[in-house]
């Protein structure tokens, strides 16, 4: 049979935010113990005392390296310009033998158009095209014979310019995304290059998301 502290650690590890809150010492252990007690009782098939759960929580070692946090904050403090674009549509198609040819056709149409937003991602089973609404007719025409999975309108993008050293520091994306997730903002997609990081959100969330990202360097890491 598993020990109480083992079950407690397994439960905490299922929630990264909870794990971080414990490491930061910003959560009430007694309240958390009462919340997770039913799951622990069921797993161990016995009535576990709250005190034992509290002790198990206290035994969990902090998972966040202070030196890493310092490095992350240095990068965050050097974030560059933030660019917001609206009127974006998110297309998802099933992969096919012709999907790449259709993408090539679309790229020819978009050539020379500097004021549009365009991103392309091909997975194992699906292909995603994120594009300005002004080019919607071209997508519908070129991909008319492809299997459309979903088309989502009313989206916006926020792009952050990253400093050159971001590639050498782990955890940058996590610290950016956690701020957005804690506010309950749904991210439909993430696009990144070496020195750019873009999130796609619903139009109704764009103001809150922009405010969060604009004030990242004012937060506590």
The CB-based long-range contact list for 142-146 (8 Å cut-off, 24+ gap) reads 142/102, 142/105, 142/106, 142/109, 143/91, 143/93, 143/102, 143/106, 145/98, 146/93, 146/94, 146/96, 146/98, 146/99, 146/102
Report yes or no on 76 lying in a domain: no
| Residue-level pLDDT at 153 | 94
Instruction: Say whether both 174 and 108 belong to one domain.
Output: yes
pLDDT in tens, the chain (221 residues): 788 988 998 888 777 667 767 777 778 899 999 999 999 999 999 999 999 999 988 887 555 555 666 677 777 777 788 999 999 999 999 999 999 999 999 999 999 888 899 999 999 999 999 999 999 999 999 999 999 999 999 999 999 988 877 666 767 787 788 888 888 899 999 998 888 989 999 999 999 999 988 887 665 54
**Structurally, how many domains does the chain consist of?**
2
| Residue-level pLDDT at 65 | 56
- The pTM (predicted TM-score) of the whole model is 0.69
Instruction: Say whether both 96 and 9 belong to one domain.
Output: no
What is the domain range of residue 211? 82-218
Instruction: Say whether both 96 and 178 belong to one domain.
Output: yes
The CB-based long-range contact list for 135-139 (8 Å cut-off, 24+ gap) reads 135/109, 135/110, 136/89, 138/106, 138/109, 138/110, 139/89, 139/91, 139/106
């Amino acid at each position: 049979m598993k020990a109480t502290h083992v079950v407690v650690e397994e439960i905490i590890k299922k929630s990264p935010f909870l794990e971080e809150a414990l490491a930061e010492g910003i959560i009430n252990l007694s309240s958390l113990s009462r919340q997770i007690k039913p799951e622990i009782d069921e797993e161990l098939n016995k009535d576990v005392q709250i005190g034992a759960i509290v002790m198990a929580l206290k035994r969990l070692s902090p998972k966040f390296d202070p030196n890493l946090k310092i490095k992350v904050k240095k990068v965050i403090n050097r974030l560059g310009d933030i660019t917001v674009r609206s009127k974006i549509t998110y297309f998802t198609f099933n992969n096919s033998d012709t999907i790449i040819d259709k993408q090539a056709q679309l790229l020819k149409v978009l050539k020379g158009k500097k004021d549009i937003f365009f991103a392309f991602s091909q997975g194992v089973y699906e292909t995603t095209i994120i594009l300005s609404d002004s080019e919607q007719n071209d997508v519908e025409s070129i991909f008319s014979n492809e299997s459309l999975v979903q088309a989502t309108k009313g989206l916006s993008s926020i792009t952050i310019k990253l400093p050159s050293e971001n590639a050498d520091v782990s955890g940058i994306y996590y610290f950016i995304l956690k701020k957005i997730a804690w506010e309950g903002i749904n991210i439909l997609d993430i696009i990144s290059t070496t020195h750019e990081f873009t999130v796609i959100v619903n139009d109704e969330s764009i103001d809150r998301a922009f405010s969060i990202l604009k004030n990242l360097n004012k937060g506590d890491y």
